[in-house]
Amino acid sequence: MLLSGFHIPQEPHRQVKKRRIFHGIFPPAASASLPTPVVTPVGSFNENTPLYPPSAQASPFPHGQAFSNAEGEAFVTHSRAWHLATSFLSFPDSPFDVSEEESTVLGVQKDGIYLRRKADLCRSETREAIAYLMTSGANAVPGENLVEWYTCEVRRHFLEYIRPMLDEAERDIATKVRPEHQLSDIISQLRVTCKIYYSVYSTYLLPYIAKVDPIASVEPFHRSLASIIAYCLPSSFPSLLRKTFYAYFTIILSLPSSHSAVTDVGLFTSPHIPGADETVHSTDVDLELEDDEKAAVDQEEANRRREEARNAVFKLVESLNAIGLMANGVGEREFAVVIDRVAGEWVSHRFCGRYTDSDLDVADADGDTSMAKLSASAASAEIMKEWLDGSLSPLVRSIMKIIHPGDPDDELPPLLSRLAHRLARVRIKEMFDIIVDFPASMPGIMDLIPTLNTPIARLVLTSTFAYTLHRRLLHQGASTVNILRAYINMIKCFQILDAKGVLLDRVGARVRRYLATREDTVVEIVKGILCYEYDEEEADERNDNSAISAEKSDSMDSASTFKEHIRRRKVIDAEVDEEDEEDILKEISTELQACAQMGADKKNETLGAAAAASLEDLDFDDMEWQPDPSDAGPEYRRDKGTDIISHLFTMLESTKFINEFQNQLGKRLLLQPTSEFLREKATIELLKVRFGENEMQNAAVMLKDLSESRKTDAHLRDTTYSKQIARTLASNGILDDLTEIHLKVISRLFWPQHMISEGDFKLPPNIADTVELFNHEFETYKKSRKLNWLNEEGFAVVELELSDRAYRYKQVPTYAATLIHTFGEPPDRPPADIPKELNGGQVGNAWSKDQLTEKLSMNAELLRKSLDYWIERNILTEYPLDRNIYYVMETLPRNDIPASRRTTPHTTPMKRDEQQSTYMTPRRRRALSFVSESSTDTDGEEAGTRKEEPTPAKPDADEEDPVTNPKFMMAWNYISGMLTNQGPMTTDRIFNTLSLFLIPMGGLQFDAAELDQFMMKIEENGRVDKTPAGWKMRK
Amino acid sequence: MSVSSASMPAAPAGASVTNVTKRLQKELMQLMMSPSPGVSAFPDDPSNLLKWTGTIAGPDGTYFEGKNFKLSFAFPADYPLQPPTVLFKTPMFHPNVDMAGRICLDILKDKWSAVYNIQSILLSLQSLLGEPNNKSPLNGQAAQLWDEDPKEYRRLLEKRHQEE
């Protein structure tokens, strides 16, 4: 009877066996464990089977033993139970409707529609079937098959129905603007799905497993679900997540980008509360707020947004955690990335471009004024620490707590040092600006120091900096002065960063190589060294100018006075500005002084050290020896001078430098009215320390010449002055204002030759007279020497009185002074056709070029230069109708005459003359007066200032002529032969040569020092000269 | 000197070089001990006496007054049997001196005799400056201007002349 329930009793038995074997080898795959096909007479099993009593209809397993009797029965029961359980547990062939699942329940976490419907469907027989399958039946481990099947079913459902939805959400990205909205779609879909999966699992399956092994029971299912989700996530999910995290964190931490990106902060504070949107727009209502109130409201609004963002982030993290994407998953990874990025951004936002003390303080507008008290070096570290403790750490901590609830609090990664590295990266990028701003940018440098402890960090610094150097400094657009200035700062900065100089060596080499290619490097450095100004005089000049103009302006119409005054001031000022215009490397001279002061006590020590340094590597007893730093470049030298000046000087060829130094020193010495030159003296002494006594000898002689000249000048002027007065009185009886002459006497051989210009011209008569007198006096003062005047060098003080203006020029070149003196009087044959007035300006004396050449016997080039000098200063001008004629602008032309009416070479000047002659001032003032001309000069054409020509009688009369000394008598013959034929020779060379020739004849009776003394005596005696190349026969 | 001769492997040459240097050393001593006014000479290099530099002061009353002229002497290994090669190193404008400084003087060529020495060469050259042999000029322009146009001669000489 019972058997009739089974159509073929043997077969199921075999089948079960077969299946067991099969399953023993191959675990049931998802496809194999689909619910029993519908073809199986489920309906008949449930309702129409006559074989079962009604009670059996309610439950297929009323009597356990009924099944246990035979294996066939067991199989039937099992498959029926399987069918029941699987068809109940299986999911519909469609994704879950998110809105339905979530929105039905308001605020309370409760099952969604699906689950409730499922719960409704769950009848007692289903429950029993599940219980049967879970606790007993044909399974080796009770329940395993069903759990496995369920896992597979979840997987199948997810892959078939949820995955396409996720993919679709990804495809929608183009249409949906906000990353957080997309993210929200994906996450809610996942959340709902997961929730259903879990609920079903925990409601129907878990209770049975939990009895066996409560912990292990959830884990495999959970893992499988998490992996399938992770596998199916859209490829854009990580970036979506990153964007969203980033958006929220910028708001929470008030980073600058949070203002631009409007992020929907309310999104993840789900479930959506109808009406929640209104609060966001609440500020729209209060439009008529006062400004400060508005600010307060804004602040409040910002706070509110921050709070909402914070909530949203927590919510997001929680929901991610719930679907297994946070801990150890994509969520945590993206979270870490974003935190790092945000921290980096904060650092660049907070510190970028702010490397000076004041910048750092100003930046604390947010309220932490305590920073101001901190020392520079600690400031940025403190700011970072404060921010970390105040803002970032709490946030990270609370999120970490959600992710890993069990972890202890203090396990945070070393964020501070990461920030410090971020900061260093920022600083490295702006290293160039830091260097340009150097002393002020000290805090920026201090930021770098702690992180520069690995070779890689140092390499990054140097290579980045080298790149910046190339881009910003070492190109045609940068002036040499700027490059030098940057180089000086660079040296200072890198010395702070790295005392051993390895880094400087690496980056400095480029600059040095580049500077070496620039022609004017030497010039600028020397200019810098010699740049101190004599300020008092300039100030005087200014006062003088204004005094004169004030005096003058009294005599003029008050109406035009002001205008004229302004104009005049403008001219005068312009001249002063012109002098200040040049960009000079004042730093160098300051550095030179500073180094000298610092190094004064160490000087001997360092000199000794430098000498020892070359031997250092060979000194095996040196217990202090250390190898070069490992990252030192090939050109690295430990013993290299460490001060700035030596860096600069070693870059130059010393001969080049010394020549340039002499040139500029010479120019300077001749142009300065004073003879003191204390600064120059000091500078030369300092340079001697670096270049050696011999190299600076010429410069020292130049200075000595100047101080000698002061004495000579004083003496000569004393003696000539009285004579001059006497002579003037005798000649015309009037004591005219005498032109004062000062002279500077230079030694030709020691001055740069090109400076001693050969240009000659006739001096103004009164000056020429005085010069004559000087010559005479000099010859009596210094026997056997005579002055040779260099007319072109030197300068004069010139005062000009014109009809409408007066000037006092302090440093007029002598040739220009001579020229303007000539214009003080009209020429013998005034050029014809010169109007009295031109373009509203009164015309003074006019000379043609030829007349000037004739009068001054000046060469054309010099004449041109002189004319240009005064034309530039608006004193002289070219006569428009005849380019060869120049005239004095007695009054400046009126600016208000339109250009069209100005005299041009095409209009006739005669008419204009007649019309306007009535405006002329009746009497022409004396146009010019030489107040004084200090003619410096020096002479030196052929024999230098001292053209030391021994007067013929002198040397013979000398009672102790060294040549008569028997010791040297024969030697002198050889010496003179040598010097005559072989040119100048040093004492050493003379000595060597002599010893070669004289040893066969009895040897030398003197040593080199004696020879040197002898040569010196001979020099005094006037037979030889000392030149830089050695002794030279005098002609 | 002894060193240089010892290091010479070729014996015959070495012997003659020794002779030359001995002779030249003697001449140097003579020159140094009894210098003639206006002329002088000295070896370029103490270790090689075969090259000398000489100086002549232009004789008074000639175009060359007040100027100094440098000469180079190169002595052959068989000096004094052969004359030295003498050139003007200072640029010269003279009928018997060409633009490269070569000199046309009989005693330096076919009339050479071993009794001449450096001093006599220098003195001959000094006198040649004042009394050129215009019959066989090396510098035709100079020969022509010498008598015809003293002013132009002086100008050209001035233009050419430059001392070190």
Give tens-digit pLDDT for A165-187.
Answer: 777 766 665 555 566 677 777 77
Does the distance separating the beta carbons of B40 and A976 come in below 8 Å? yes
Considering only the beta carbons, identify the residue of A976, A983, A997 that sits closest to B164.
A983
Give tens-digit pLDDT for A282-324.
Answer: 333 344 445 666 677 777 877 888 788 888 888 777 777 777 7
**In chain B, which residues have their Cβ closer than 8 Å to the Cβ of A996?**
46-47
Distance (Å, whole) CA A642 – CA A508: 13
Residue-level pLDDT at A64: 43
Complete DSSP assignment for A16-78? HHHHHHHHHHSPPPTTTTSPPPTTTTHHIIIII-TTS-HHHHH-S-S-HHHHHT-HHHHHHHH
Minimum mean pLDDT among A88-97, A299-308, A640-649, A898-907: which range? A898-907
Omega prior to B80 cis, within 30 of 0: yes
Residue-level pLDDT at A890: 78
ipTM above 0.85? no
The answer, for B3 touching chain A at a CB cutoff of 8 Å, is no
Considering only the beta carbons, identify the residue of B28, B35, B53 that sits closest to A997.
B28
Residue-level pLDDT at A59: 43
Residue-level pLDDT at A649: 74
Look at the block and give the residue holding tokens 């679907």: A323
Q: Which of A417, A293, A438 is nearest to A355 (CA)?
A: A438
CATH of A953-1033, one of 3.30.43.10, 1.10.10.10, 3.30.210.10, 3.30.56.10: 1.10.10.10
Amino acid at A165: M
Annotation marks residue B50 as catalytic: no
- Strands, sheet with A795-801, edge to edge from the N-terminal-most edge strand: A806-813, A795-801, A928-932
Q: Residue B49: is its pLDDT beyond 80?
A: yes
Distance (Å, whole) CA A145 – CA A78: 12
What's the gap between Cα A478 and its chain centre? 14
The answer, for A970 touching chain B at a CB cutoff of 8 Å, is yes
Minimum mean pLDDT among A194-203, B5-14, B117-126: which range? B5-14
**Sequence ranges of the domains in chain A:** 3-235, 242-275+294-429, 795-932, 953-1033
| Residues 6+ away with beta carbon under 8 Å from A677 | A669, A703, A706, A707
CB A631 within 8 A of CB A455: yes
Distance (Å, whole) CA B68 – CA A980: 10
Catalytic-labelled residue, pool B104, B125, B128, B145: B104
Residue-level pLDDT at A267: 47
Give me the mean pLDDT over the A122-148 stretch: 67
* Pairing verdict, β A806-813 and A795-801: antiparallel
Q: Residue A447: is its pLDDT beyond 70?
A: yes
Torsion sign across C-alpha atoms A71, A77, A79, A85? negative
DSSP 8-state secondary structure symbol assigned to residue A920 = S
Amino acid at A334: E
User: A734-741, long-range: CB within 8 Å, 24+ apart, which pairs?
Assistant: A737/A929, A737/A931, A738/A766, A738/A770, A739/A766, A739/A767, A739/A770, A739/A930, A739/A931, A739/A932, A739/A933, A740/A932, A740/A933, A740/A934, A741/A717, A741/A767, A741/A770, A741/A771, A741/A774, A741/A932, A741/A933, A741/A934, A741/A935
Give me the mean pLDDT over the A453-459 stretch: 81
**In chain A, which residues have their Cβ closer than 8 Å to the Cβ of B44?**
982
Q: Residue B10: is its pLDDT beyond 80?
A: no
Q: Give the torsion through C-alpha atoms of A963, A967, A971, A976, to 10 deg.
A: -10
Residues shown for chain A = 1035
pLDDT confidence band for A932 (50 / 70 / 90): very low
Q: Kindly state the percentage of chain A with pLDDT values over 90.
A: 0
Find which of A949, A981, A993 to mutate to test the B interface (most B CBs within 10 Å of its CB).
A981
Residue-level pLDDT at A407: 61
Give tens-digit pLDDT for A939-970.
Answer: 333 333 333 333 333 333 334 566 777 777 77
Q: Residue A264: is its pLDDT beyond 60?
A: no
Q: Which of A831, A946, A961, A811 is nearest to A885 (CA)?
A: A831
Distance (Å, whole) CA A971 – CA A1032: 16
Does the distance separating the beta carbons of A981 and B41 come in below 8 Å? yes
The answer, for B32 touching chain A at a CB cutoff of 8 Å, is yes
| Average pLDDT for chain A | 67
Domains of chain B: 2-160 (3.10.110.10)
Considering only the beta carbons, identify the residue of B29, B47, B53 that sits closest to A982.
B53
| Residues 6+ away with beta carbon under 8 Å from A786 | A775, A778, A779, A947, A949
Distance (Å, whole) CA A526 – CA A680: 12
Minimum mean pLDDT among A427-436, A727-736, A863-872: which range? A727-736
Does the distance separating the beta carbons of A981 and B54 come in below 8 Å? yes
CB A480 within 8 A of CB A518: yes
Distance (Å, whole) CA A516 – CA A508: 12
The answer, for A633 touching chain B at a CB cutoff of 8 Å, is no
CB B35 within 8 A of CB A969: no
Packing angle, helices A521-529 and A654-671, rounded to 10: 50
Q: How far is B18 from chain A (nearest CA, A)?
A: 15
